[in-house]
Structure 1
């Protein structure tokens, strides 16, 4: 039985989430404010946190940052009515593992919760990855460097880049990436993949601009997925 923390100020939504999650066999603690959630997280460990970003007392993104410090081993799933990509990226950068947009479909919610609770660590191969231009992905140490400078990535960002780097110049489908990096039984929107790719591109571009390095490009393949395109030889 997993122990879940639900942070939701709306009484109706909170009651539905609490009762539905309990019906699926989870132990549930429901808090209606960011401060109360943080106090609860400081006192007990949780397997997964469902966090509404629109809280009445604290900004949900700041609550996410502080929850991540308090609960480094917990999965944090944002519940948000903010649908722009940048809003979601900010939440993921704050430490969230995933997000669901409101109104939340309970079928998707439960499938997502099961997927995250099943996770058994990163799935990408730990076989050494040859340098790709100035990019080096080391699955053993889980480090990425560009021209000798470390690229700071979150866990899923690393797993995604490592999966693409394992087959450079190969088109990898969305379903394959979701299965290999997230969960083979993933249900619902795969928009989280696009958000993670956007965050990866931004972080890589910032370090490339600072170093002048030559690195592979993550190419979008409409209707299929992504490809890590090897840079031309200098």
Structure 2
């Protein structure tokens, strides 16, 4: 099965060429033309690889990369830049980019870099597709959630919150981190929305099951972990 690639590129012609050429090679491609749209799409599902332009409207590629790496250290990100500047490349690589390609680029070289990045993408610790912790299993592609033999129905936002917690399992996350990771950097509503959705999630996937996986760290935030 070929990889699912997210292209975040504001230059329409370049984005279109990438889409045509990558789809010809058998990849599935989704495009975003600014940083905010790119982050929304990134949060909407699991991606095999991201092609990310450095210079983007609404949010720079560097800021997008920072937000991606807050909750996801596994998805390969290849930065695209018109600047052949060593300092910019070092900054991007230090922030977690897997590779850097300077425009104009040779498409065969870009393909080789994509293949290399995909080849070394870390597998989930279970060795199986999806996310899991104890008897909790989540399939990002089908949006199926289960504990043991029981299927659990979640709303889209509950599912997004659970996925974010699972991708950061065993890490204590405060409200601001959860708002940024699930609701987005431009959310200006009540921060108590996090507590409300944590309660919804706990009632559905934790209340009637053992062990309890979703824990409150008083005065700090929340953590998803197996206490055993």
TM-score, normalising length: structure 2: 0.51
Q: Give the whole-Å Cα distance in 2 for the aligned partners of 1:100 and 1:43.
A: 26
Specify whether residues 84 and 49 from structure 1 end up closer, same or farther in structure 2 by C-alpha distance, changes over 3 A only. same
Tell me what 2:60 maps to.
59
Tell me what 1:84 maps to.
85
SS of corresponding position for 2:26: coil
Specify whether residues 40 and 70 from structure 1 end up closer, same or farther in structure 2 by C-alpha distance, changes over 3 A only. farther
Alpha-carbon distance, 1:76 to partner: 0.4
Tell me what 2:103 maps to.
102
Q: Give the whole-Å Cα distance in 2 for the aligned partners of 1:110 and 1:21.
A: 8
Q: Give the whole-Å Cα distance in 2 for the aligned partners of 1:80 and 1:108.
A: 15
Deviation sequence 1:64-110 (CA, Å, 0-9, x none): 11122343221000001121211111111121111000012111011
SS of corresponding position for 2:77: strand
TM-score, normalising length: structure 1: 0.50
Deviation sequence 1:14-43 (CA, Å, 0-9, x none): 000011111111111110010011011111
Tell me what 1:14 maps to.
15
SS of corresponding position for 2:19: helix
Q: Number of paired residues?
A: 121
The answer to whether the Cα contact below 8 Å between 2:51 and 2:79 also exists between their aligned partners in 1 is yes
SS of corresponding position for 1:9: coil
The answer to whether the Cα contact below 8 Å between 2:73 and 2:96 also exists between their aligned partners in 1 is no
Q: Give the whole-Å Cα distance in 2 for the aligned partners of 1:53 and 1:70.
A: 20
SS of corresponding position for 1:25: coil
Specify whether residues 72 and 10 from structure 1 end up closer, same or farther in structure 2 by C-alpha distance, changes over 3 A only. same
SS of corresponding position for 1:54: coil
SS of corresponding position for 1:99: strand
Counterparts of residues 16-31 of structure 1 (less than 5 Å): 16-31=17-32
Q: Give the whole-Å Cα distance in 2 for the aligned partners of 1:115 and 1:92.
A: 16
Tell me what 1:218 maps to.
none
Q: What are the ranges of 5 or more consecutive residues in structure 1 without an aligned counterpart?
A: 122-234
Deviation sequence 1:94-149 (CA, Å, 0-9, x none): 2111100001211101111111111266xxxxxxxxxxxxxxxxxxxxxxxxxxxx
SS of corresponding position for 1:45: coil
The answer to whether the Cα contact below 8 Å between 1:41 and 1:71 also exists between their aligned partners in 2 is no
The answer to whether the Cα contact below 8 Å between 2:76 and 2:121 also exists between their aligned partners in 1 is no
The answer to whether the Cα contact below 8 Å between 1:38 and 1:63 also exists between their aligned partners in 2 is yes
Tell me what 1:115 maps to.
116
